[in-house]
Each structure stands twice: as C-alpha cells, then as structure tokens.
Amino acid sequence: MRRHVTICALLAGVTLTAQAPPSVLRRDTMRPEILGTRGIVAAGRHYSVSAGVRMMQQGGNAIDAGVATVFAAAVCEISHFGFGGEAPTMIYDAKTREVIVINGQGPAPKRAAPDLFMAEGKIPSNGPLGATIPAVMDAMALALETKGTMRLEQVMQPAIELADGFPMYAFLREVLITERAATEQYAWSAKTYYPNGRIPEVGEMFRQPNLARTLRAIVTAEKAAFARSKNRVTAIRAGRNAFYKGTIARRIAEANRAAGGVFTYEDLAAFRGAIEKPTTASFHGYDVYKAAPWNQGPVLLQTLNILEGVDLRALGDNSAEYLHQVHEAIKLAYADRNAYYGDPAFASVPIAGLLSKPYAAERRKLIGPRASLEQRVGDPFKFDPQVKPPSRRYVPHAQGGKAPSAPGDTTCVDVVDKDGNLFSSTPSSGWLLGGAFIAGDTGVPLSNRMQIFDLDPASPNLLVGGKRPRTTLTPTIVLKDGKPFLAMSTPGGDSQDQQILNVLLRILVFGKDIQEAIEDPRINSLHPFSSFDNHESEPGVLEIESRVPQPVRDALAARGHRLKVLGPYGMSTGVVAVGVNPRTGTLRGGADVRRERYIFGW
C-alpha cells in the first residue's frame, strides 16, 4: 500500500555520527540531524509536529505530545490517515523503565463474516464494508490517561483548530484531485472533502466543520466530567465515551449501515482497547521491542534474529552480499508472518518458537548463494512445545482478483522528551486513497483495515466478527542497556518493518547517525504475500533505489533477484526516528526526505 512521490527541492546539510568522535565529519545529507535537550517531535506534516511541540512547550511529556500529534494528523493528513482509523502505539516510560503497547487496532464488526465476501473472493479496500471499528480515540485516550499528564481539552485543541481550517498544501491537494472520483461516490465524503464542488488552491483555507463539531463534543463531555469529578482520568474516559457510547457512535453506525455496511451501535459501545506487553529480541547488545502477533511487528524481530548470525559489517554496507543476505532473511521472516500471525485472542500463535534464537539459526541455514523464489515457511512448533500445531497448516496464497491500483497508506509519529520517555505510533486508515468513506455528518472517515483479513478457514488471520486483523502498523522502541535509545515508525504497508530494518541496520551495525541512516539507499521486497487487496506475491522482486551502484545491482540480478529500480529517493516510505544519544545523553532525531516527513526539537 504505497504511493510514490517525487522529491523536489531540499536543502543539504552536514551531520555528525553519534558513535564516531565529534571531529569526524560524515557525508552530506539533505537534512541535518535534529539535536536537543527538551524534546523532539517527528511526524508526517509540519501541522502535526507543531501540535506536539505546543504540548511540550506547555509542560507536557512525550506522551502528551504524541497524542496531540496523532489527533492533529487525523485532521491534516487525511490523504493517508483519518480520525476513524487506527493507531497502534508503543511507549517507553523512563520512570518505571517499562515498554507498553497500546493495541490501537479496532476489530471487525460482529456481523462481519467470510460469507459476506465470498462472491468477490476478497474484502474491499474502501467503503462501508472495508472498515474495522474506529480505534484512534480509544488508543489515544488510553495512552493519555495511563502515561500522559494532560487532559483531552489540551491535547485536542490543535486538532480542533486545524479542523476549523488550515492552509491547503500541495501534496494533499494533489491527492484530493486524483482520488476525487473514488471519494465522491459517497455523498457525505463529497460534501466533506469537496464542498461546493471545488478543491481549495494551495494556500487557501481547507475546513472540516463536521469533524470539528465531533472533536468539540468529545472535549465538552470531558470538561463536564472534570467539573464534576476533578479527576483527570475520569474526565478523559468521559470524553472517550462521548465518541463510543453517545450520539456520535449511533450516527457512525447508522451511516455505515445505510451505505451497505454492518456496523452496529453495540460494536462501538462494547469496544475497548487494552495495554499489552510487547514482544522483544536482542540484537548486538540492543533490545528491540514490537507489538504482539496481531501486528506484523514480530517479523522485524525474526529478521534481526536471522541476520544476527551474519557478519554484516564485514560484508560492507550496500554490498551485493549484504543486500542478498538481508533480502533472503526478509523473505524467510515474512513467510512465517503470513503463515502464523493472527489475533492471539482467536489464534494459537507459536510466538516463542518464532522468536527463538535456535529457530533463527535453523532458518539462517536456508540462505544460499542464489535468490530464492519460493515461499519457505518454517516449523516454529518444534521450538515452542506449549503451542499445539493445527490439524491443517495454512499455506498463504492470493485471494480474489487484483484491483487496478493498490491505494492506501499510513503516517507516523515519534516523540522523545527531556526525561527519556519515548512515544512511537503508526496511525493509519480513513485515508483518501481509493476513496474515503465519511460516516455521515460526523465528519469521521472510517477505516480500511478489513482487507487485511484472510477468507481461508485455515488462516490464523481468518475474518471473524470481533477479531483484530493482523495489521501492518508497526511502531518500534529500541533500548540500550535498559535505557531509551530510539523510537521509530514509518508508513509503507507491508514494507514498514523492511524500511525500519534498512535504517536500524545502518545505525546498529554500521554506526551511522540517524539522519544519514534514514537517507541511505534502501531496498524493499515484494516477494511476501501482500496484506492488501488480493494478497498477491511477486516472487523474488526487490525494489531498489538507483543510488545503489550499478555493479551492485548487476551482481544481485546475477544471483536471481528480480530488480525493480526506483528513483534515487523513490522508495514509497517515510521513516522518522527520535531518541537519546547514549554517549552524550542529549536528544536526537531524523526525518525522511521521502514523503516530506517533518521534525522539530530543541
């Protein structure tokens, strides 16, 4: 689920590596690494970043800032994310030194079932039947009440102001143009995003009055509850419930059903997210944390486990052998993702086996000198005796016909504060791409995440009402010696953990600073079965940016990798990362030139 964009003009700067002596200059980068002592906020748009910065300037912590940034992004980054989507989030609490996961992924409506989609052979990517239950409001309220210090009234104020109007920017205007026909098929979407039948010019004000009304109703409910209780948590929950248990929820459900969906009021009223424990793996002295296997996050841990036994530094950054080893490890890990991951409340996932070092060693032995074109699923059950293998093993496969295009995408939010708290989130869905479905007069665009489910009864990711799809939205926390090191996330669908892997290896193995690691040339495998549309695979296909030297590309092709060469910065992704420099204790961060990511710190 990627959208390629052209990078136009950007300013060049010079960065220093955190691992190297300060006197050693690194290569020129298009942007400098951001340094600070108070806080750093990185996200998809300057409007979003400014919301988080405001919270820090008002005394808030990284969680307050992160929540405000997500809410703002839901208003101003509607090309890729809307308020009715989802926001899986991870938090590192510097005081308790714990990492938690806010699951942030809504389930399928209770009436959703495979029979609804058997005629087409797949679940639609857009529209009323494509939506899981909205999770953004719940996830951000849970994060705020658990690890934040502020109230909804404070963290939602920038989003309300943006809903009242912001100057249209070029990227969003281009998407509104390209997705107009797909979006205007839904009456309220046309009224919301194309009022009076026109698109504002760049610099003209773009307003979403219905969404602003919904956001204000949430804050009004919170303020009333705080006036009664004088309790911050009680008030936050009241604001959250105004979305899920009041007239807003009824109007969302009614609008969805009127357009052919299966939402009920009870689906929203009964929904409640949760705080979960992360999965984790060690890699060269660093501890990498991801969400549980309702999320694709553990695939990064599996890939790192496989690569830990390869001397990547000796192979050389971006050498043909290095890229070959990385691509083959990605294929092996993603084959397991498609075969075994699913909502643990509904599926028995052998996660201990999948993440065991002996299993990784067994998988590593499969990497040969040639590129594999096969889907080589492993057998983790041998390494996880607590989980019984199913009577029928699922064999991943495509389903239904391929759509003319594969629209949709994601944004990202990462924050670090002066105390070392980390916030990492990957907000997504409710996007314009492919056609946004607005739930009536609420102004809320609904999710696109139902399409992730499989329709094959053998799949651990089989569609079941009330179940979470195995999402691609994958925030990341990295610790060094139990201390905060990095928070990272990116858009990119299936490629998210591949893009994080690209950057993380440059930092952890080659000692590069954050900005240089982000800007370095990247690869992305299309070999894994896609999570979107008809779930197809492109065996052996490797996207590779043209800055990788021609001799290296030739050597990869000679090994059997099927290369798809992109522009110099053509990978459709946008990594941001923030953290603490372990050598100096100061803060640092970087933002991708791909996708026009933004960052600010001081």
* pLDDT single digits (tens) 135-181: 999 999 999 999 999 999 999 999 999 999 999 999 999 999 999 99
pLDDT at 3: 38
**Distance between CA atoms of residues 53 and 42, nearest Å:** 10
3-state secondary structure of 202: coil
3-state secondary structure of 152: helix
User: Among 240-254, 314-328, 403-417, whose mean pLDDT is lowest?
Assistant: 403-417
Confidence check: pLDDT of 30 > 80: yes
Q: What is the mean pLDDT of residues 106-112?
A: 98
pLDDT at 409: 78
What is the full DSSP assignment across 451-519? GGSB--TT-TTB--TTPPP-B----EEEEETTEEEEEEE---GGGHHHHHHHHHHHHHTT---HHHHHH
Tell me the residue type at 259: A
Which residue is associated with the tokens 């936050």? 236
Q: E strands within 103-252?
A: 166-167, 205-206
Residues in the chain: 602
pLDDT at 25: 56
Sign for the CA dihedral angle at 524, 527, 531, 534 comes to positive
Which residue is associated with the tokens 């995408």? 409
Tell me the residue type at 139: A
Of 359, 364, 368, 356, residue with least CA distance to 309:
364
**Distance between CA atoms of residues 506 and 518, nearest Å:** 8
**Dihedral, CA atoms, 398, 402, 405, 408, nearest 10 degrees?**
-40
* pLDDT single digits (tens) 325-382: 999 999 999 999 999 999 999 999 999 999 999 999 999 999 999 999 999 999 999 9
pLDDT at 427: 98
* pLDDT single digits (tens) 69-93: 999 999 999 999 999 999 999 999 9
pLDDT at 403: 86
Confidence check: pLDDT of 532 > 70: yes
Tell me the residue type at 434: G
* pLDDT single digits (tens) 460-518: 999 999 999 999 999 999 999 999 999 999 999 999 999 999 999 999 999 999 999 99
**Distance between CA atoms of residues 187 and 259, nearest Å:** 10
**Distance between CA atoms of residues 524 and 510, nearest Å:** 19
Confidence check: pLDDT of 22 > 50: no
State the pLDDT confidence band at 45, using cuts at 50, 70 and 90. very high
According to DSSP, the residues that pair with 223 across neighbouring strands are none
**Distance between CA atoms of residues 377 and 186, nearest Å:** 41
Contact 288, 507 (CB under 8 A): no
State the pLDDT confidence band at 18, using cuts at 50, 70 and 90. very low
Contact 414, 423 (CB under 8 A): yes
pLDDT at 484: 98
pLDDT at 10: 30
State the pLDDT confidence band at 13, using cuts at 50, 70 and 90. very low
pLDDT at 4: 37
Other CB atoms within 10 Å distance of the CB of residue 438: 28
DSSP state of 415: E
| 211, containing H or E segment | helix 209-229
* pLDDT single digits (tens) 379-400: 999 999 999 999 999 999 999 9
Confidence check: pLDDT of 19 > 60: no
**Distance between CA atoms of residues 419 and 434, nearest Å:** 41
Q: Tell me what the pLDDT averaged over the chain comes to.
A: 94
pLDDT at 404: 78
pLDDT at 407: 56
* pLDDT single digits (tens) 545-584: 999 999 999 999 999 999 999 999 999 999 999 999 999 9
State the pLDDT confidence band at 6, using cuts at 50, 70 and 90. very low
